[in-house]
Structure 1
Amino acid sequence: VVIQAFDLHPHAKSDDTIRHEVRSERGIRIVTLLSFSLFAMVVGQLGRIPLLSAGAKEAPLLVNDVAVAIAVGAGLWLSLRNRNLQLDAVALVALGFAGVGGLSTLMALPRFGLSGFELMFSLAYLLRWGLYLGIYVVVINTLSPRDGRRLLRVFEDTVLAFACFGIFQSVFLPGFAQILFPDAALYTVWDPQGQRLVSTFLDPNLAGGLILVALLLSCARLASGDIVPLWRPALLATALVMTVSRSSMLAFVVGLVVIVFLVRRVTWRALAGSLLAMVVCLLAAPWLWRLADSFNKFSLDDPSLLTRFVSWSRALRVLTDHPIVGVGFNTYGFVQLRYGFTELTQSAFGLDGGLLFIGVMTGFVGMTFYGILLFLVLRACKQLWSRDRSSVVDGAIGLGVAAATV
């Protein structure tokens, strides 16, 4: 989202003009509301209000959702009032993807015999997806490059706070989800995670994914010669390791490879950061090995790994049966129930494997839209890190976002 605030959109105006347009009559700026919504992300699952539930799966309202809704609503209202609401190619393709998701969800009503409640439950998640897409639309219509940099700093500070609490939680509050929800059935609502870092997301893979983005941004800035306190990426790397999330760590390695291949030159700060990272890894290796081994992360008979293979095989069968537009947005749990695969557990509605899950939900049509969306984002990143007039910070941001996207 922030990448599009860095003067890449064709209708960008001067900072003074934009600052004048995005102020409400009382002087509240959209970037302030967006910053607050980022800070609210730290609350995570601690601020959940149950609204709908299907089996063990809930569609809660989060504090962050409320903050985002306020920011998006205010931004769209001001853009409409000033008659400058515009949609670029990324927004149009994303709307096309959402349209495919909505159409396939409606088609699931007769195909799988979904009830009205099940349809409403599924569309609630599509509505949330559209709400977060609204952030992008607000950013390209209201934020200046200066606002974009400010929002990025807020994001980095937010993830840093998230990681700090996660480290505290991992050390002093093992089994955090069970402490918060002692009556929740194990493996049905929340899996027991022991001393793995879950922070306020209560899920090590989701926590690792968020930490990963901020860490790759810091690594890209270091590699590009920007001034970054080394303790920040060191703390984020420590938090990432404490998630014991294989997918997050693999994604980090892939992101680093992208940065190494695309960075223009290697600075001494990048070398110092790499040395520090190796020292941290060596010091943490014995503890990490024991923790990972306690969860069978080095074994081929790891229940988590075997479950993923089973889930992938089921997903491929569903995709083969419904290849054009998929089975519908967030209907997968109900579809698996119809297939006789599983009960309505928390994990039944999801799938480890992003593109495969998108294919199951929206078919090859949806995957095409999503692929175009990724291409447009990566192209914008390339424009930012490769153009001569980009500052070191802006180029590093383009590089970091590209690494995180890949």
Structure 2
Amino acid sequence: MGILKSIFVIFLGVFCLGEIFRFNLGNNIYIKPIDIAVIVLSLAWIAQEYRYIKKIYKDTLFLPIALFIGTMILSLSININNFSQNEVFVAFSYIVRWVLYANLYFIVKNFNPKFKKKILYMLLVVGAIFTFFGFVQYLFYSNLRNLYYLGWDEHMHRMFSAFLDPNFAGAFFVLYLFFLLGILFYSLNNNKIKQARFIGSISIFALISIFLTHSRSALIMLLIATVIFFMLSKKMKWIIGIILVSVIFIAISSKSFNIENINLFRIASTEARIDSAKIAINIIKDNPLLGVGFNTYRYAQIKYGFRNPTSSNVSHADAGTDNSFLFVMATTGIIGMIAYLNLLWSMLRESYSNYKSYDSKSIQKYIGIIAMTLIVGIIISAIFINSLFYPFILIWMWVLLGFMEKK
């Protein structure tokens, strides 16, 4: 195994650490092990595959990715005089991070088919470890009250695993579930019965994990993704099964709805999301064309008086709004939104092309199904949480998209 492949394996291993380890570099810059890993991986890729880099502009997703990167940089450049040098530096560092994560698509795509197949099984293991850690956390560390001073919500009686947030963990569990189901159906269609049984067993735990997050956004994401996945797989009867299991879960958990954190009809978080949307809309009204500058949202809120810069209450939510699309509009404006929607559409188009180009015996058929389900699922999730810009969901998305191969 070459150096680049070895680094990629380490990178996937670091993924399991989630948000458990993060280091404050000062000036509102936090770095996680996964950030360090993706930097090393990208540098190794540039050093080893510089010839391929010259050809990436021919990739169908290159232009949509480049256009959105351009709008991020343009929005920040236009607003550069509205913020201090430190604030601009922090904002630009997050643009760099987004670029590094997007680069995973090109890195994975350049791997040979044999190693890509190994990566699929590595992802299966990574997700299984994350799920296992979630059950351990749920049983022995059921709330984050002791980390409240660091900006984490309490999340009592909920599974949040290594992400320390049940909503993002729930979104990931949904993505992992349909990744597993895609591999499961591929295994069944190729008579790999033992493999199918093993993956089916893990799928059950992934489904249970979704419910234990008590995340409404994850449940909505699950239901929509279920319809998309099984329609594309032409297994409509499974839709009824997933919906039935969800209804049973809601019926059983309703006995505990007196506990606010796991009440699916809780009002406090709904009101918080509405307030978050109102703030974003106010900022959008004043900055419709190019927004306030990508990732300057925290500083814009302070200027508008929505956040107190001297407050002792730390929050990881200050840098964005709950709705990813409002976040894009507020920070990059209409131009950025058009560029971003074009990117999402291009991803869906490529996934559909992959789906239509192969028969049910090919893994590429199911990669297309998984990718389309993934994109639609994240879009639904992004209405409620900022999942389109959450690092670990971005990583999972770009890596899976990198598997697609034109016939």
Give the distance between the partners of 2:361 and 2:43, measured in 1 at CA.
Answer: 32
Q: Pick from 324, 348, 354: which aligns with 2:324?
A: 354
> What's the counterpart of residue 49 of structure 1?
23
AA at the equivalent of 1:170: Y
Q: Give unmatched runs, 5+ long, in structure 1.
A: 1-26
Look up the SS of the partner of 1:230 in the other structure: helix
Determine the C-alpha separation between the residues in 2 that align with 1:288 and 1:168: 24
Q: Is residue 292–residue 298 contact of structure 1 (8 Å, CA) maintained in 2?
A: no
- Asked if structure 2 preserves the Cα contact closer than 8 Å seen for 1:308 and 1:352, the reply is yes
Counterparts of 1:113-124 in structure 2 under 5 Å? Answer: 113-124=82-93
**Alignment root-mean-square deviation, CA:** 2.6
Aligned twin of 1:282? 248
The question of 1:39 aligning with 2:39 is answered no
With the length of structure 2 as denominator, give the TM-score of the two structures. Answer: 0.81
Instruction: State the number of aligned residues.
Output: 362
Matched, 1:212 2:174: yes
TM-score by length of 1: 0.81
| Match in the other structure for 2:107 | 138
Partner deviation per Cα, 1:281-339 (whole Å, 9 max, x = no partner)? 73785246516843274446x11110111111221121121111111111111101111
C-alpha deviation, 1:253, in angstroms = 0.8
Question: Which residue identity lines up with residue 75 of structure 2 in the other structure?
Answer: S
Partner of 2:308: 343
Alpha-carbon distance in 2 for matches of 1:307, 1:173: 25
Residues 83 and 207 from structure 1, CA distance in 2 versus in 1: closer, same or farther, beyond 3 angstroms?
closer
Partner of 1:380: 350
1:336/1:160 CA distance change after superposition, 3 Å? same
**Which residue in 1 is equivalent to 2:292?**
327
Tell me how far 1:90 sits from its aligned partner.
1.0
Identity, in percent, stands at 24
Alignment partners' CA distance in 1, 2:60 and 2:258? 43
- Given the alignment, which residue of 292, 304, 323 partners 2:269? 304
Aligned residues of 1:167 and 1:242 also touching (Cα < 8 A): no
Tell me the alpha carbon deviations over residues 354-374 of structure 1, each in whole angstroms, 9 at most, x when there is no partner. Answer: 222111121111111111211
2:163 to 201, 206, 210: 201
The structure 2 residue matched to 1:127, chosen from 83, 86, 96, is 96
The superposition leaves residues 190-220 of structure 1 with CA deviations (integer Å, 9 ceiling, x where unpaired) of 1111121111111111211222211122234
Is the alpha carbon distance of 1:107 and 1:281 closer, same or farther for their aligned partners in structure 2, counting shifts above 3 Å?
same
| 1:43 CA displacement | 0.8
**Counterpart of 1:371 in 2: which secondary structure?**
helix
Post-superposition offset of 1:392 = 3.9
Note the 1:21-100 alignment, pairs <5 A: 28-54=2-28, 59-80=29-50, 85-87=55-57, 88-100=59-71
Amino acid at match of 1:35: V
Report deviation, 1:73: 1.2
